[in-house]
Amino acid sequence: MIKIIYKQDPLSEDKTIEHAETLGQWLTSKYDHMPEHVRIFHTISNMDHAEISFANEVTPKNAYELKQLDFLPGTFIVIENPKGIDPITLAWIAVASIVMGVAVALLMPVPSITQTNQNNNQSSSANNELSNRENKTRVNGRIADIYGAAHDTPDLITVPYKVYENNVEVEHVVGCIGRGHYKINGAYDGETNIVDIAGASVEVFRPGVDIVSGEPYFSLGTEITTPPLTVQHQTSVNGQVLR
């Protein structure tokens, strides 16, 4: 079941919140065909005030792309584009009115060539590298599309974090293998098989399955009971203890 936030006026606070089995089912019940004046955005968040930006627009260009949206969980924001308003202008209006923080980004200095190269390297998939592969975040990067047999290096979905359990350091990592369904034959940390690492566990879920309450279709080690967390690195904490 997905949530759909429907807005006829992108500048108005008025909205309708509905639920449906798939986005295609909801669109079919509302329209005879896919209208050109509709813009669709997607987020995995379940909040009623979802973010709208170019980064999360998923408006389909053809029937195939529309069908692929049926496999996405989470929340869809469907916005009517009134006649007479340019689609690009509409998107900028929506961003300015709903995501006020974008104004700060627009006022920031233009990044240097070095910064741009760093951003480009960060968005490049580790699967395209010949050596020194590592899991990394790829903000606004494309989800990996893998075909055939390959060694995959999953992209990070959240910031990895470490905790101590019984004086043993445990690292928690949540990643994305790629788009679609895959047959998993094994899991490794570098060149070491996960089954050879004491206490290590791996769980892999199919698309659309809740990684908290759902059942993994591939697993190694003991069951993972710790829910995924959204964390941030804090530079203000340096390990000092006040007495």
Is 230 domain-assigned? no
* Predicted TM-score of the model (pTM): 0.46
88-102 pLDDT, tens digit each: 443 443 333 333 333
Cα four-point dihedral sign 230, 235, 236, 239: positive
Count of domains for the chain? 2
Is there a single domain that holds both residue 146 and residue 102? no
- Residue 151: C-alpha distances to residues 126, 135, 191, 211 (Å): 11, 13, 11, 22
Domain that holds residue 146: 139-220
In a domain, 99, yes or no: yes
Per-residue pLDDT of 111-164, as tens digits, reads 444 444 454 455 666 655 556 667 787 777 777 777 778 788 888 888 888 888
pLDDT of residue 98: 36
Strands (E), the chain: 2-7, 16-20, 38-43, 75-80, 155-156, 161-165, 168-172, 175-176, 188-189, 192-193, 202-204, 218-220
* Domain co-membership, 78 together with 173: no
Query: Residue 38: which CATH number?
Result: 3.10.20
Specify whether 13 is located in the same domain as 100: yes
